[in-house]
Structure 1
């Protein structure tokens, strides 16, 4: 009986999720945004809204100490090569953007949803070429127990070529462009934003009104 009930609830959640997708897709007026995100949140937003991936930062993550540098120098890094990293022990491929000069730092990219580096690099290059430079959005989910909070203040004050938002796990004073999730208690480094809220079809991510964020 328990297995039958679990199966039924999963089907019900899936139906509710499709209804939710239909609702937010009708509300969305921005059909070609480029979302530069530090983790998979950008890709999930693209998927939920049924949009084409116009960003290289899909199915991957960038650590916070690299993400801000990447955002500030996005045009520059679009001209740089990315090579495979062998000295980082992970179950998935890891790449490193190689700067063209000594004035820019290397950026490490963790391709956790790709089977091989060749596949990851091909998608990275392909999606970089799709960037809509006139319709840019920057989304940073920030773990304040892992990284220096000065980084989020720097991001909040940075002049970026588009709209920006910090997704936080607790209220942090004097941060203007931010939203706080309700699902984090101790800011553990887990992807709780992707967890479903019961059988509603919504995730905790959907607490953040990304449709209004993109439409504005």
Structure 2
């Protein structure tokens, strides 16, 4: 047990050192630094952090269910006009979660990395004011109840976009915005694609050239 802990600690240390090198190289390649990343979960925030970007999106440190995220993206200006997050007290939604859950109009926000609704509201308002409406990209995954109908709707969104999925082509030729992340074929969806893997400072999402994507190049 002690040997395993030491090994994991050393592995984590090496991974972080190598990750810094990856981040530095990616930061050098990135040209589009005034971008708003609207993300269904923490992926957008982690990429922004790695790339040294200011958080110009309120969708940081939280996640949506698939249907709610699609409605959010289809009506961004409407949902951004709603002033207050309302705390959720529905036990069927909260379940055993230790973090706050809030409503934004008819949407449910799972505020995973916030201690309170008040903290989330402050950050939501602060980052909402920074949105660059002329430079929005959307990052989605096939998690949280994604369906074929929702994928069809995703393809119609008028933004640069990508959805990470666990199934290889040609299954997703119908959905040109989908990108296959290897390693989750036996699962129902992709996993946490920002989790560390191996020793080289990589994450599953590094299979996708997100720097080129943010710079405006088609990568899917």
The match for 2:29 is 27
For 1:91 and 1:190, the matched residues in 2 are separated by 24
Q: What's 2:102 paired with?
A: 95
Write out per-residue CA displacement over residues 37-59 of structure 1, whole angstroms, 9 at most, x where no aligned residue. 10111011101101110001000
- The alignment's TM-score, normalised by the length of structure 1, stands at 0.89
Do 1:94 and 1:108's aligned partners in 2 also have CA atoms closer than 8 Å? Answer: yes
| Structural mapping, 1:1-216, within 5 Å | 1-80=3-82, 81-87=84-90, 88-89=93-94, 90-98=97-105, 106-143=106-143, 146-156=145-155, 158-160=156-158, 162-171=159-168, 172-173=171-172, 174-188=174-188, 191-216=191-216
CA distance in 1, matches of 2:6, 2:103: 46
Is the deviation greater in 187-196 or in 65-74? 187-196
In the TM superposition, residue 190 of structure 1 has moved relative to its aligned partner by 7.0
TM-score normalized by structure 2? 0.88
CA change 1:72–1:198 in 2 (3 A) is: same
C-alpha displacement of 1:166: 1.2
Residue range with higher mean Cα deviation, 76-85 or 63-72 = 76-85
Q: Mean Cα displacement is larger for which, 31-40 or 165-174?
A: 165-174
SS in 1 for 2:139: strand
RMSD, aligned CA: 1.7
Indicate if the aligned counterparts of 1:59 and 1:114 stay in contact, CA closer than 8 A: yes
Asked if 2 retains the 8 angstrom alpha-carbon contact of 1:143 and 1:187, the reply is: no
CA contact (8 A) 2:141 2:190 kept: no
Flag structure 2 segments of 5+ consecutive residues without an equivalent: none
- The alignment of Structure 1 onto Structure 2 pairs a total of residues equal to 206
